[in-house]
Amino acid sequence: MTVSSPTAVPTRVRGGAATLLVAVLAGLALGAVDLAGQLLLPYPWANLANSPAVWAAAAFALGAGLRAGRARAIAAGIVLLLVAVESYYLAATLVLGDDLANLWSPTTLIWLFAGVLAGVVFGPAGAAWRAGRWWPATVAVALLGAVFVAEGARAFRTVNLPTGAILAVLGLALVLLLARSARQRLVALAVLVPLAALGAVGYLGAGLATG
């Protein structure tokens, strides 16, 4: 029979609270930066500020940066994106005079739902990449690249060629940069293809891609 250290639970609680705080602060920043990017950057770069793929990458980066387990990475990814959605609409209210009701509009609810899904997938994907186990890390890199390529395909379909090209190049570049060996790059690129195809179908259904 084992007895837990009396400091174990408080340590976990403190770790969870720190994770939550980091996710909230990152979400506040992401939403505000999104709006600023749309207002300040020239076309087609402004489209990237409001790109779902970029937001997914933020969840991936947070999951990787926290060096936490799967459960905490999922929670962090979800909180990050939920806060970012509301931060974006709040910033639009303060800066552009948009209606405060946008914070709870049907469109916002759709984005919040999408944020939960993306947080569940990309938060732990970042953690898996950081952990370095070969197959989970390979799939994680492929997932990250695929979401950019899928959104790029959606942009091509809507004849938004510059944005589509940038997104596709970013997706491939992320795989090449984050994979840790030539073999992992090749396998990740192969896995990316079906994942990107599934993602493109998802974008068509949800209508959330930039364009």
As a whole number of angstroms, the distance between CA 196 and CA 150 comes to 5
Question: 65 is in which domain, residue-wise?
Answer: 11-131
User: Model pTM?
Assistant: 0.88
Q: Answer yes or no: is 5 within a domain.
A: no
Quote the pLDDT of residue 11: 58
Same domain, 191 and 111: no
Residue 104 DSSP one-character state: G
SS3 103: helix
Task: Indicate the number of domains in the chain.
Answer: 2
* AA letter at 69: G
As a whole number of angstroms, the distance between CA 150 and CA 132 comes to 25
End-to-end CA distance of the chain: 60
Binned average pLDDT, 10 residues per bin, the chain of 211 residues: 50 73 96 94 89 96 90 96 96 91 91 95 97 96 97 85 93 97 97 94 66 41
Looking at the chain, list the stretches that DSSP marks H as alpha helix, in order from N- to C-terminal side: 8-40, 45-49, 52-66, 70-96, 106-131, 134-157, 161-178, 182-206
Last residue of a domain, one of 108, 131, 154: 131
Tokens of 202: 């998802």
Quote the pLDDT of residue 3: 46
CB count in 10 Å sphere of residue 136: 16
